[in-house]
Amino acid sequence: MTQVEVNKMDGRLYSLRIFCEKLPGVFIKLMQALNVLGLIIVHANITSYHGLILNDFNAEVRDKKVVGVDTLLGLASLPPIH
């Protein structure tokens, strides 16, 4: 189970909420995916509860080419991270 919520905050800044199962290596794969999208995490809040994790991020687009919200929402269509 993975749920992704993306909101554009200002300019190149996005708010990301990613809710998923707590499994080994999930956080590393999540950080790699965000890096591939060209995002820099400027704030992170990670909450764990009963085997689930809520990842709240504020991320800024690294390059001048702005990643569209549709691209960020594409994270939701990725297969579950194991």
Please check whether residue 35 lies inside any domain of the structure.
yes
pLDDT at 75: 54
| 18-22, 46-50, 64-68, 76-80, range with the lowest pLDDT | 76-80
Please check whether residue 82 lies inside any domain of the structure.
no
| Cβ(75)–Cβ(3) below 8 Å | no
Instruction: Say how many domains are in the chain.
Output: 1
| 22-31, 38-47, 49-58, range with the lowest pLDDT | 22-31
Please check whether residue 60 lies inside any domain of the structure.
yes
Cα 42 from Cα 14, distance rounded (Å): 10
Q: What residues make up the domain containing 37?
A: 2-77
Please check whether residue 70 lies inside any domain of the structure.
yes
Q: What are the DSSP calls for 30-81, one per residue?
A: HHHHHHHTTEEEEEEEEEEETTEEEEEEEEEESSSSPPPHHHHHGGGGSPPP
pLDDT at 61: 86
Please check whether residue 49 lies inside any domain of the structure.
yes
Please check whether residue 11 lies inside any domain of the structure.
yes
What CATH number is attached to the domain comprising 65? 3.30.70.260
pLDDT at 59: 92
**How deeply is 43 buried, as exposed, middle or buried, from its count of CB atoms within 10 A (0-12, 13-18, 19+)?**
exposed
pLDDT at 47: 95
Please check whether residue 7 lies inside any domain of the structure.
yes
